[in-house]
Chains A and B, each alone.
Chain A
């Protein structure tokens, strides 16, 4: 475990270096991206901008200063928001995590359920129907699905609210986790909880659709691989109920590959949030990353890169841990 953590730290430092080099290779000027045209014509304003963000120093020195600050958990000041990057990330990151976790939980449950159903009913109409669902899930463009869902459930039917994390004018709950659903519950604000929950449904549904399709396919394939094995037949022959056979003898080995797919899918969900966050006005890290990149906001770009890298490292670690839980023969080193 210590070795894994050590590798993680090296990876994070490597990512800061790559982000730093790439951002400086782009032939753009952060001042041009962040100051108005006329302000750019005033040397005093441009000089003050460069000084404020340390851009008047040589690039290697800028990098070393950045690393020194990073050691002290200081991610610098964002050139676009004028706030500490850590403060920005503490606002954006929980929003994305709340959405992505909601999407992964719902889509994994649905994907596994549908996958098992399709495998058990192999070759029957329900299997065909679910395979169509899977195909649609992995092939339909996210932006199209998002707009369609928005039009149908918000505009036409009025069942779900418009974009955002809460209805207009509502104040978020005091921050504990940054997850509005969790924080509102912790403060006993139940109406706020339901408001936050119903705002999660549409973007979560759209974001999770691809995952449902992927998990469904993998689950179906994994279950089919083991469902005709001798030990499954033996379990059936012992007179165990079909549900028990599936749960105890079929799902257990299938869960290993499902955990891998779900782990990878979670990473994809994080990268897929850019479009969904835009359409549903979800103030998450995808929007922040996009704005940072277009504004050549180096501290923010590096900050986002670090956070995403840490998330990937943690997810991989969790999946590995899950392996050893699901299959005790696997040992985590």
Chain B
């Protein structure tokens, strides 16, 4: 089934060859660069994860357990203000030189100082070496989520000497002086199972197995990622067996496919709605009873039907696969009578409100236009007239960020799979303020958020984040709706195919 790519003119251009196994993956590219310091796009995560090791990582799609990568172990000290990582002495770069603490310090400082898209991941962290195999990370504030942040491929470790020779720098002025990005788009300098053979943001990325890889050799000698802009084409490619994996099908496209593996699970993307708490934006939406009417007036089962098989209702803002997620028993319940009762109690009458959302945007096969139309229909049933205000994503993000939307429909994709990423939704925080929710207005939830940010220990963090979300649901302006399905389709011959909400599919552990 797998083979090298033939150069003949035949339509089926692949010739089986067991010795040189080639894996072809269809993906609608969202790709800018293969430089870990600048990369923060879905396809980039997939590519960089295969090229660069991180200190710790996740196995398959399990985000609740951090497993060793370059670091065999780590210690959490001083209330999660200090982490000590012990490097695996066997680790070596693709040129055969060992991975040292100096490389780790250089790579992470470069990431911070480049001030690129992923720089916020390590905001407030200081990275130092304590001997050739020990790395120390310290922060003024406790950072209990750090082990869950570090698997992000953007924190991949580069061969510092090689990258420096090609214009890289970790100096504080790296944002203007580092010129290595273009070179890193042609050659990789990591210790991951693959090396970069060719890179194009428009056509394909080709990865070859790293001959000096220090871990178990990867199952494929070559991986080709093809930019396929249409999911219907990906579907036919996999069904025909021309290409092995399709990453962009939605549940309806995947249904009924036979002779292939279909993995359907909940994506970590959370779709939510908010009713702005700022009375300058709307006199109606800050009303708590009105917000409760919204919460009860949505037919969540209907939304899931729209989103397709594999989607799930979201009881809280933290996705189900992450530490701190609420159990399904805390799902909001659709109750028409209760919704009408809250609306009557609110005293706002039968209001007409604008619902702003990004138009022509589809995430995990779920269209915001369709979702907004459904919400309009449901809220109409309880006496709220919703006027749809579709906006292009670049325009809509402006009003969303400015906090000027009365009703908003958006989604949040995780920056890293830790509940601390969702503290952004707290009162006075980044997204909270977009919904007009200030810390002064809700000091109880603000205090819970502050406590959650500093609590350490898995059980204690689970408990505090559950408490934080229940309090958010009780008094906050956000209504978590659902997590759409994430579908990965592969041909039968691929072993250990696992989807991953961060880097799409786990290339490292394919059999």
Give chain A's interface residues, CB within 8 Å of chain B: 26-30, 32-42, 44-45, 48, 52, 80-83, 91-92, 147, 150-151, 154-155, 158-171, 191-192, 194-195, 197-198, 277-281, 283, 287-288, 294-296
Contacts and interface: CB of A to CB of B under 8 A. Distances in A.
A143 to B, nearest CB: 9
B305 interface: no
A41 B430 contact: yes
Given A162-B237, A168-B14, 18 more contacts: A27-B398, A34-B117, A38-B120, A92-B202, A147-B232, A154-B240, A163-B229, A165-B203, A169-B5, A169-B224, A170-B7, A194-B9, A195-B13, A280-B233, A281-B226, A281-B233, A283-B203, A294-B393
B400 to A, nearest CB: 8
Contacts of B240: 154-155, 158, 162
Contact of A164 (B14, B115, B123, B226): B226
Given A39-B118, A42-B120, A48-B115, A164 B203 contact: yes
Contacts of A163: 228-230, 233
A166 B198 CA distance: 14
Contacts of A29: 394, 397-398, 401
Nearest to B232: A147
Contact of A45 (B13, B115, B226, B424): B115
A49 to B, nearest CB: 8
A167 B242 CA distance: 10
Given A38-B424, A150-B236, A278 B394 contact: no
Contact of A154 (B182, B236, B431): B236
Given A38-B430, A92-B202, A283-B202, A169 B22 contact: yes
B196 to A, nearest CB: 13
A32 B401 contact: yes
B206 interface: yes
A-B CB proximity, top 6 nearest: A194-B9, A283-B202, A169-B5, A167-B13, A28-B394, A32-B397
B421 interface: yes
A37 B394 contact: no
Contacts of B22: 168-169
Interface string B238-256: 0110110000000000000
A45 B202 contact: no
Interface residues of B, number: 63
B397 A33 contact: yes
A76 B176 CA distance: 16
A195 B202 contact: no
5 contacts: A32-B394, A40-B401, A168-B24, A169-B224, A195-B13
Given A32-B394, A36-B415, A155 B236 contact: yes
Given A37-B415, A38-B120, A41-B424, A295 B7 contact: no
A91 B204 CA distance: 13
Given A28-B395, A33-B393, A150 B233 contact: yes
B126 to A, nearest CB: 16
Which of B120, B232, B239, B412 is packed against the most chain A CB atoms within 10 Å? B120
A83 B182 contact: yes
A192 B421 CA distance: 48
A168 B201 contact: no
Contacts of B229: 163, 277-279, 281, 287
B10 to A, nearest CB: 8
A295 B393 CA distance: 9
Contacts of B395: 26-28
B175 interface: yes
Given A48-B175, A92-B202, A162-B242, A37 B38 contact: no
B8 interface: yes
B12 interface: yes
Interface in B146-191: 175-176, 181-182
A48 B115 CA distance: 7
Given A38-B430, A296-B394, A158 B119 contact: no
A147 B203 CA distance: 20
A154 B237 CA distance: 9
Contacts of B176: 52
Nearest to B33: A82
Which of A52, A164, A169 is packed against the most chain B CB atoms within 10 Å? A169
A169 B236 contact: no
Contact of A37 (B9, B181, B224, B430): B430
Given A28-B398, A191-B9, A44 B24 contact: no
B8 A169 contact: no
Contacts of A32: 394, 397-398, 401
Contact of B412 (A27, A37, A81, A154): A37
B11 interface: yes
A68 to B, nearest CB: 20
Nearest to B433: A41
Contact of A39 (B117, B233, B397): B117
B117 A45 contact: yes
Nearest to B203: A283
